[in-house]
Structure 1
Amino acid sequence: MHFEEYRRYDALGLAALVRDGEVTSGELVEVALDRAHRTHAALNAVVQWQDDDARSRSRTALSGPFAGVPFLLKDLAQAQAGVVETAGSRAYRDARAAETDTVVQRWLDSGLVVIGRTAVPEFGAKGVTESDLFGPTRNPWDTSRSPGGSSGGSAAAVAAGVVPAAGANDGGGSIRIPAAYSGLVGLKPGRGVVPCGPRSSEYFHGGAVTGVLTRSVRDSAAMLDVLRGSDPAAPYVTPTLPEGHLSALDTTGPRLRIGMQSTSALCDAPDPEVVDALRRTRTLLVDLGHVVEDVPPPVDEEALARDFLLPWFVNVASEVAAIGSPRSADVELDTMVMAELGRRTTAVDHDAALARWHDHVRALSDFHRRFDLLLTPTTATPAPRIGELATSGLERLGARAALALRLGSVLARVGAVEAGVMRNLSVVPFTQAANLTGRPALSVPLFRTASGLPVGSHFVAPPGGETQLLRLARELEEAMPWFDVTPPNVG
């Protein structure tokens, strides 16, 4: 099989070819590995290579809905026993996982063949993938730009056709942001739908979840069928669905009432082409029979940003503390600044911020009493250029001095740090609400800018709304197909 033919199929399509004896898993793996290596210099998407393991597994008897299909794991919170998991940090560049995460085992049980691991920012703490350990990952639609983060390596690899789907996770938009920047389908499942065991019961107080990046809605649905369901480490049991998400796509969903938010308190003016894509999304939805109404932001976005960032900094501080002092010199400066802000946060303030998450839950709950879904842009701009969101030299100089002099309290008071963080959030102001409130959310690549960059349309559903999101996404996919719209060949 040649790459041009391989690229014409999604993961379920490739699995069908293997099942019908038209191609072997080994042939698919060779195409995927060749594509991964050919695009590596241009994209830097794959950072851990498992060529020999993949070839060996492809020769074994595999079963499941994705039997024989090549796949990539994200190099964060997707551990495979015996394989290095760096989390994008020099501190973990030689750290081999002691056990396999539940989600990874479920992917393996579905018959997938892991060919490697994809790039992430350190600890997944940024919306772009530009770690000191591996360098920047680039967007195949325009290699001067980022594919986003923190699932940036997975997004670049799927968009470039290395694999039809790849592992991802989302604690503030890390599935949906790279989906928007890279022209992919990105579903963030709701809280508790996908397990975090055995190493954890929940990530980021339930705000972070595991999923995938794909090119087709049916792949996203089938992958959720594979991942869904509690494990023994889960804090609560996920209800069993009467039907699978993939089979649910065979039924057309009801016409929906959708509230459309086009502005954000965190962003003075979204890019005009992003606004245009949102308007075109609205027109498409209305043409399909849905009702779309303009709405103000359903949550207090500035308060939500603060309530997101404070626990986020504390979480980063915990990550750095787990490394231990001998390896702390290997941690990036921006990470150390976030960790210092986290360490300076009192337990009372941290608890109060988490308690206020419920305020945002209630606000979205009130919204969903009136509307089936919330529609926003996924991001406020198309993909940023490499380095565009990096900390400036002056900011880095001040941060180094404050850390060296143990002036963490000064860091907490200096507006430059907050300004830098808010500058990054202003580019992606629409995604964090679904994380804090535990709602499922999805980005689909309906439109592109005049220069060809993808733009995401973002939908948020109430708890249990994954099927509703997937049905609507399938309807949009059929009305405005994107699967065969591919980026320039970077190989």
Structure 2
Amino acid sequence: MFDQDAVYYAEQIKTKQVTAEALVEKALKQIEKVNPILNAVTVVHAEEAIATAKQYDQYFRTLTDLQIDRLPTFFGVPILLKDLGQSHKGHISAGGSKLLKEAKAEANDNFVQAILDAGFIVVGRSNVPELGYKNISDSELFGAVNNPHDLSRNAGGSSGGSAAAVKAGMVPIAAASDGGGSIRIPASFTGLVGLKPSRGRIPVGPGNYRGWQGASVNFAVSKSVRDTFELFKAIHTMQLTSPFHLPKMTETELVPLDRPLRIAYSMRVPNLSPLDPQAETLVERTAMYLKELGHEVVPVGFEYDGIEAIQAYYKVNGVETVVMMEAIEAALGRPITLDDVELVTWAIYRSGIKVPATDYSKILSLWDQLRVDLEAFFVDNQFDLWLTPTNNGVAPLHHQLDVTPAMAKDLSHMDAFDGDDQQKLILEMFRSSLSLTPFTQLQNLTGHPAISLPIKAEAGQLPIGAHFTAKIGQEYLLFQLGQQLEDAGYLDGNAVEVVK
């Protein structure tokens, strides 16, 4: 299996120790072996990937040593794309939905093109929940993704397939996306590095430039901090045609920290759920490691109304889903019915129809104010970073977060409720899942960067990530701290051998 990170295999290609074709064949064999156990990959592009690898190898043989040094960072390394968005020309992007199971992309989106330009070879697509609405991956179309640590548990969502595939060594790295924690949540549940970049850092479009009004961003899950840094360096951009943009990172090398950091930490759950004891232990252990490394650790957190923020987000999800469904209806030439989608999707879709335009405008203003307030939290208190658990507990058992029969009945009759009652139903529908993953949505609303780091679990325990948030545009500081923790032996990004 792939037990090293993507940079390692890229260097092996450039030093002529392995070919791109051999790595692609390795990925395909590992997927064939392990995917029947984990259900992490929905489609494999075997013939195309091998043909591309052969072309890469043929081209490589014509290069001088200087030209080899100038190759893209990840030349010849196999990767999975997430089967949600991430349009890859000529390939279906089903998004875990029966509605899109035959929807073929006519062109690469700008993120996928950046992945290809970085040298990767796409070998397939990873499993997701329908349209990415859940923090677990269990679509009716493709089935649930098993966690490599414990097959009775889910790998998380919505990038659960990507996380399971990387942790099980099917590929050394996999593309992912994050609209409410969808990179960081499965990274935490499986024990990987998961970065959500700042809003405006990663290429967007064509077609969809806002991604849930900037809340959603593409990136990846990886085994190492250096992979995360090198990928970010390779694909991040200042895209002036995007509605959101930031200056590019100026640093080109990941150098060690040269000063102690002032790091806030908190265990207050923003939706006021009880804190899981394992999550509390994780934060305490991480704070101890930080102190050992010489950092100042201050027990204070950013205070905000987590219920108000998440309810506002659900309204945005609803409205954006209506826009998407109208486009699908136009393509189908008929209305979408409950038979076409899962209950969660149906409920979000129908709730969006009754969200007033004035509410939508107020919500965007709320997001803007949260962004200002969170930035002020860092600046006014001279904090470099803010630490919380990534998740409020370990990966859930399969069906642990299923809705009750009574809830399912109400969701199927969503149109019978007025707008306010619909929103109450949405909140109740997500209550148990939100209690498990309450720490990751804020950064999507504000656009701040955040990373889940795989702090080593105690013997016999499942992983929970340490979640660090930084000021806007300060990904480099997250990389530096992550590298310091990794060098000190506090992180665990190792692959897990999966046996049924």
> Is the TM-score greater than 0.5?
yes
Verify: 1:44 aligned to 2:56, yes or no: no
Alignment partner, residue 153 of structure 1: 161
5 Å matches for 1:273-312? Answer: 273-312=278-317
Alignment partner, residue 395 of structure 2: 383
Q: Matched residue of 1:384: which SS?
A: coil
* Aligned counterpart for 1:15 among listed residues 10, 13, 16: 10
Do the aligned residues in 2 keep the contact of 1:190 with 1:439 (CA within 8 Å)?
A: yes
Distance in 2 (alpha carbons) for counterparts of 1:223 and 1:43? 26
Q: CA offsets, 1:80-120, max 9 Å, x none? A: 11100111110000110011011111111121111000011
Q: Matched residue of 1:59: which SS?
A: helix
Distance in 1 (alpha carbons) for counterparts of 2:258 and 2:373? 25
Q: CA offsets, 1:275-307, max 9 Å, x none? A: 101100000001101111111443222222222
TM-score, length basis structure 2: 0.92
Distance in 1 (alpha carbons) for counterparts of 2:110 and 2:258? 31
Alignment partner, residue 172 of structure 1: 180
Range 365-374 or range 434-443, more displaced: 365-374
5 Å matches for 1:197-212? Answer: 197-212=205-220
Q: Matched residue of 1:123: which SS?
A: helix
* Aligned counterpart for 2:443 among listed residues 434, 437, 441: 434
CA 313–253 in structure 1, closer or farther in 2 if over 3 Å, else same: farther
Matching residue's letter, 1:11: A
Do the aligned residues in 2 keep the contact of 1:344 with 1:412 (CA within 8 Å)?
A: no
Q: CA offsets, 1:147-195, max 9 Å, x none? A: 1111010000001011111001111101100110010000100010001
Shift of 1:274: 1.3
* Aligned counterpart for 2:29 among listed residues 28, 34, 51: 34
Distance in 1 (alpha carbons) for counterparts of 2:400 and 2:10? 39
CA 23–413 in structure 1, closer or farther in 2 if over 3 Å, else same: closer
For structure 1, which runs of at least 5 residues remain unmatched after alignment?
Answer: none
**Residue correspondences, number:** 480
5 Å matches for 1:389-404? Answer: 389-400=401-412, 402-403=413-414
Distance in 1 (alpha carbons) for counterparts of 2:181 and 2:93? 21
Matching residue's letter, 1:41: P
Matching residue's letter, 1:60: Q
Do the aligned residues in 1 keep the contact of 2:214 with 2:447 (CA within 8 Å)?
A: yes
Alignment partner, residue 120 of structure 1: 128
Do the aligned residues in 1 keep the contact of 2:311 with 2:427 (CA within 8 Å)?
A: no
Q: CA offsets, 1:19-40, max 9 Å, x none? A: 1111111111111111111111
Shift of 1:58: 0.6
Verify: 1:270 aligned to 2:282, yes or no: no
Distance in 2 (alpha carbons) for counterparts of 1:416 and 1:343? 15
Alignment partner, residue 460 of structure 1: 469
TM-score, length basis structure 1: 0.94
5 Å matches for 1:53-452? Answer: 53-61=48-56, 63-231=71-239, 233-244=241-252, 247=253, 249-324=254-329, 325-328=334-337, 329-369=339-379, 370=381, 371-400=383-412, 402-403=413-414, 406-409=415-418, 412-413=421-422, 415-448=424-457, 450-452=459-461
Distance in 2 (alpha carbons) for counterparts of 1:488 and 1:16? 24
Distance in 1 (alpha carbons) for counterparts of 2:72 and 2:190? 28
Range 197-206 or range 41-50, more displaced: 197-206
Do the aligned residues in 1 keep the contact of 2:385 with 2:468 (CA within 8 Å)?
A: yes
Matching residue's letter, 1:210: N
CA 236–339 in structure 1, closer or farther in 2 if over 3 Å, else same: closer
Distance in 1 (alpha carbons) for counterparts of 2:490 and 2:50? 33
Alignment partner, residue 67 of structure 2: none
Distance in 2 (alpha carbons) for counterparts of 1:303 and 1:234? 28
Do the aligned residues in 1 keep the contact of 2:38 with 2:164 (CA within 8 Å)?
A: yes
Shift of 1:488: 4.2
CA 91–20 in structure 1, closer or farther in 2 if over 3 Å, else same: same
Do the aligned residues in 1 keep the contact of 2:456 with 2:490 (CA within 8 Å)?
A: no
Alignment partner, residue 480 of structure 1: 489
Shift of 1:423: 2.3
Distance in 2 (alpha carbons) for counterparts of 1:303 and 1:484? 35
Q: Matched residue of 2:366: which SS?
A: helix
Shift of 1:390: 1.7
Shift of 1:428: 0.8
Shift of 1:56: 0.5
